[in-house]
Structure formats: structure tokens, C-alpha cells
């Protein structure tokens, strides 16, 4: 893993029952007591699962360390790590069947978000989520379950259950995918884009013609990726 990630605090959230979530937390360069700040959740892919509390920063970690972005978009940024053999979402790559039970690690993330809001000046009206590959599926999974929680989402080479899109059509979503992806087929993003468009969703789609599964490298270079994300705000209470 390249990059100096020492500015990301190593953190853990522990339940009394012993369940633990490992995560890294990047704080704004300076925190003004009179202000509250956005919180971004970044969900990694399948190969970054583990217990080292480091691998999850491999893809996306340097994006939020960009000095220009840190100055322009002060925010808390959380990179949780999914344990081995688990998934962010209970719906897998090729499954269009909705599982009523939330994934245990996603439940821990939701509890950690609540914990962070108690301890830091986080603006509940500006919670953002993004994910790549397995993290993209996890992003859609939690949007289905908690559509009132997040203001906007970025999904890179992921997918979800199109039949549940009505639940989160009010959420601005930017989909990005490589047309030559041989791991998560580009059709998963094309179908979701088509579905959201047809039902009046707030969706944006970028497809990279000659890119395979590593489309996150292109996505992170989008000049307005973070500007778009942080421009999204809740216009009215979710119903």
C-alpha cells in the first residue's frame, strides 16, 4: 500500500457484547467549535477485507488527503474495514433477492456513525457514502435500508437491486463503471441508471470505455467528484 496515511486516526468501535469495527478516521485540518462538518463513509472492495485497520485505505485514502480538497471541503472521513469472509451488504453480486437482515458489519457502521455524532461536530444533514466494487453493493444495500440517513452517494463498479430503487430515488447518486469490467459487469450500473432515470431519480452516470474493474482509479480523478458530492444537501425532511 502506497501513501502516508498517518493523518487517519486508527479507531475501533466496540459493543459490550464484544463485536468490534476497525476503522480509520480523517478529521478536518482545523475544527471550529461554532461549526459542524460533513461525514463521508468510504466502503472498500473485497480484497481489502481484514483486521489490520490499514488495507481499507489502499483505494481512495489519498483522495481525501489532497491539500486542496482538505481546505476546500473540510470534513470527517471514515474508512471502515470489513472483516474477513464478511460483506457490507447481504445482497451479493448476482442476487436480486432482498434479505431482510442487515449485514452485521453494516449494523456496526451505523452504530459507529451515531457514536461519532456524539463525539464530534458532525452535521447530521450532511452524511455522504461512497463505495467501490463490494463497497458499491454495500452502498446500495444501506441506501435501501436507511434512505433517510444519507444525503448523496457515489457508487463505483457496484450494483444493487433495481426493484428497490424507489426507496432511494430521492438521493443524488453518481454511478461510475468501466465498460470492460470482467468482475462486476457494467450492466449492473447501466440497469440501475436506467431504472432510476425512468422513475425520476436523481442520478448521474459515467462509463469508461476501455477500463476494466479498476475504474476507481478513473473515478478518483474526476475533477468535480468531491465538489459534486459536497454540493448535495438535504432540501427537505425525508418522508
Cβ(1)–Cβ(59) below 8 Å: no
pLDDT surpassing 50 at residue 239: no
The answer to whether 93 touches 137, Cβ cutoff 8 Å, is: yes
Domains of the chain: 9-231 (3.40.50.1820)
210, 233, 236 from 196: Cα distances, Å: 25, 19, 20
CB of 177 closer than 8 Å to CB of 215: yes
Query: What percentage of the chain has pLDDT greater than the value 70?
Result: 94
pLDDT tens digits, residue range 177-195? 999 999 999 999 999 999 9
Q: Return phi, psi of residue 222, to 5°.
A: -60, 120
Query: Rounded mean pLDDT of the chain?
Result: 93
Phi and psi angles of residue 184, each rounded to the nearest 5 degrees, phi first = -115, 105
124-176 tens-digit pLDDT: 999 999 999 999 999 999 999 999 999 999 999 999 999 999 999 999 999 99
Tell me the pLDDT tens digit for each residue of 77-111: 999 999 999 999 877 666 667 777 899 999 999 99
Give residue 238's pLDDT.
Answer: 43
Closest CA to 174 of 159, 152, 144, 141: 152
Amino acid at each position: 500500500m502506497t501513501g502516508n496515511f498517518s493523518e487517519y486516526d486508527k479507531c475501533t468501535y466496540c459493543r459490550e457484547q464484544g463485536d468490534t469495527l476497525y476503522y480509520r478516521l480523517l478529521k478536518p485540518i482545523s475544527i471550529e467549535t461554532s461549526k459542524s462538518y460533513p461525514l463521508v463513509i468510504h466502503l472498500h472492495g473485497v480484497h481489502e477485507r481484514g483486521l489490520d485497520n490499514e488495507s481499507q485505505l489502499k483505494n481512495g485514502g489519498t483522495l481525501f488527503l489532497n491539500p486542496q480538497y482538505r481546505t476546500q471541503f473540510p470534513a470527517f472521513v471514515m474508512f471502515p474495514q470489513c472483516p474477513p469472509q464478511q460483506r457490507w451488504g447481504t445482497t451479493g453480486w448476482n442476487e436480486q433477492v432482498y434479505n431482510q437482515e442487515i449485514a452485521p458489519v453494516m449494523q456496526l457502521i451505523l452504530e459507529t456513525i451515531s457514536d461519532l455524532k456524539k463525539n464530534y461536530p458532525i452535521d447530521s444533514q450532511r452524511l455522504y457514502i461512497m463505495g467501490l466494487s463490494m463497497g458499491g453493493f454495500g452502498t446500495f444495500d444501506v441506501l435501501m435500508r436507511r434512505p433517510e440517513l444519507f444525503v448523496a452517494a457515489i457508487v463505483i463498479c457496484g450494483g444493487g437491486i433495481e426493484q428497490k430503487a424507489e426507496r432511494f430515488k430521492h438521493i443524488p447518486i453518481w454511478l461510475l463503471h468501466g465498460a470492460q469490467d470482467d468482475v462486476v459487469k457494467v450492466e449492473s450500473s447501466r440497469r440501475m441508471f436506467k431504472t432510476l432515470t425512468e422513475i425520476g431519480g436523481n442520478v448521474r452516470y459515467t462509463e469508461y470505455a476501455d477500463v476494466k474493474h479498476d475504474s476507481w482509479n478513473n473515478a478518483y480523478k474526476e475533477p468535480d467528484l468531491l465538489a459534486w458530492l459536497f454540493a448535495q444537501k438535504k432540501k427537505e425532511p425525508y418522508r
